[in-house]
A and B are shown apart, each in its own frame.
Chain A
């Protein structure tokens, strides 16, 4: 099931085979980026909000120990059972033990990237517990036995005809039906029955308020609430970094989140869970899973400010043209590429290289994470630790040698121009990775250095006369 044998470039190669589909994917995500721009420009204080959000998160990271204790104490006071999990296995075992104690064999789950990271569904299914993802995009991905390709839009890489085919196969819709409204209504019917019959519901957490011990879950579909308010056992899984100090800080983050994600002024539902319903049990699992380690890496700790809006993915030229699944990590795109190496540097050594370092991600990030700089810094770490691919190391060495002296630079340049002009077939072939999906250019007649040397003689007099 894991695809770590292939790297981002190899997986992207499969994705871009269908050119018309890639163009659609590219355009659809760019359209969402444009909606984000329109929404943000309606708020005159937008940049001040980003700055405030970034500084609130800096404060959170600098005082996380005390905020966690404060949040825990207040949550317990509110009647929430708080658990701590060091890693994915411990998190999954806690969920399983909560369900087992109540003899519950079916659970409904709203969108939670953390539980995807932990592979909770697989863990529970192996132990005889049935889990259904209730977010429509995640439900579709689950039917297809695929992970989400985008944190906000889990099946953005799929065409409606593919989804229609999945529904035909799994839900018995008529063959060939692909109308989004019709398909959504069918899923609504199936999932309504799921919500009504499940005794346990799990949600993710967007923000947890240290001051009050409550947590906020944001959705557009209402699926988190449908599960939670009909369940007798409610479980919330959250990464340690989701803390905000005070309730008033929610105003800053909720103004930024949906506008950055989809261009909406706010998600349809921003649910504040503080106490269990009468007769209901409410559990909250605080999960570390590498976060405290990332906190200790000065150049990468700001990645923990992320509020999971997905704006960096929508704007990224590499993401838009390679698809989220090419990143072989739950969190894809630029933010995923700076979070993943912390978890497993070897497995994710390719991801920081899946970027042009154009910086667009950092420009749209609502909490001002310097994503493109961290991508560059991860490259240094990965090469230093010996995890870079051999071809990359060799080509970097060749490049370093070429650029190390004017003589080698001009010799290689002359050789390159000669090859392009005289024996183009030597580079226009499948052994040259740069040739894939690209035409090689015609070689210029001379280099800038040669042109300058030739022309400089004529301008010398002018300069000398000054």
Chain B
């Protein structure tokens, strides 16, 4: 008998009698302002956040906040003019020198500050991890209250890889001292893209 068969046989013999699945569809976020909650939570976990109304504002902020003499890549055609549109087909190791990557989230979660990035949004799987700094554009209307609404929207999802990313890479392994930038990005910036007349709601 193969290990597969013997393991399955042992499991079948030893598993207890049927226990029903609980209903989890009733879990939902409250009716609070998700954009405001997102901003509060994301900054509390060490993220940098700007509310902007167009890509020109994003481009300007990047030029002031980052070293543009270094390699800056993006998946967004709107930012391809000053920055490099990344190739989805080159060897992922070639991104080792990336200073800043700018990508766009499919949605974001107010309760924990995380953005959801299926691999199509990353360009390549390694991008949001290998860069020294990560910037993510989040359209305000894609922010959901909790992970329950997030998984509702994601559904099965047409991706081979996807990730929630909530803040810069972190470690506190040395005496519980919090250090940003363990292996991944040292900073994470979120640009919340909002219609101009709505800006006052948040800022």
Contacts and interface: CB of A to CB of B under 8 A. Distances in A.
Interface of A: 28, 31-32, 43, 45, 48-49, 51-52, 55-56, 58-59, 61-65, 68-69, 78, 84-86, 90, 134-137, 140, 153-156, 158-160, 163, 180-181, 183-185, 188, 191-192, 195-196, 212, 220-223, 225-226, 228-230, 240, 245, 247-252, 254-255, 262, 264-277, 286, 288, 292-293, 295-296, 298, 301
Contacts of B113: 265-266
Most buried by B among A51, A59, A245: A59
Nearest to B177: A180
Contacts of A293: 10, 14
Given A230-B92, A251-B146, 16 more contacts: A56-B21, A59-B22, A85-B3, A140-B174, A154-B173, A163-B174, A180-B174, A222-B183, A222-B184, A229-B92, A251-B150, A265-B112, A266-B164, A271-B162, A274-B160, A286-B7
A52 B114 contact: no
Contacts of B22: 51-52, 55-56, 59
A297 to B, nearest CB: 8
Given A68-B8, A223-B183, A270 B163 contact: yes
A64 B18 CA distance: 10
Contacts of A254: 147, 164
A207 B150 CA distance: 17
Interface in B176-202: 176-177, 179, 181-185
A220 B185 CA distance: 11
A277 B161 contact: yes
B14 A84 contact: no
B58 interface: no
Given A86-B3, A292-B11, A274 B20 contact: no
A222 B184 CA distance: 5
Given A28-B176, A265-B113, A286-B7, A251 B16 contact: no
Nearest to B184: A222
A196 B126 CA distance: 11
B10 A292 contact: yes
Contacts of B74: none
Contacts of B167: 268
A295 B13 CA distance: 9
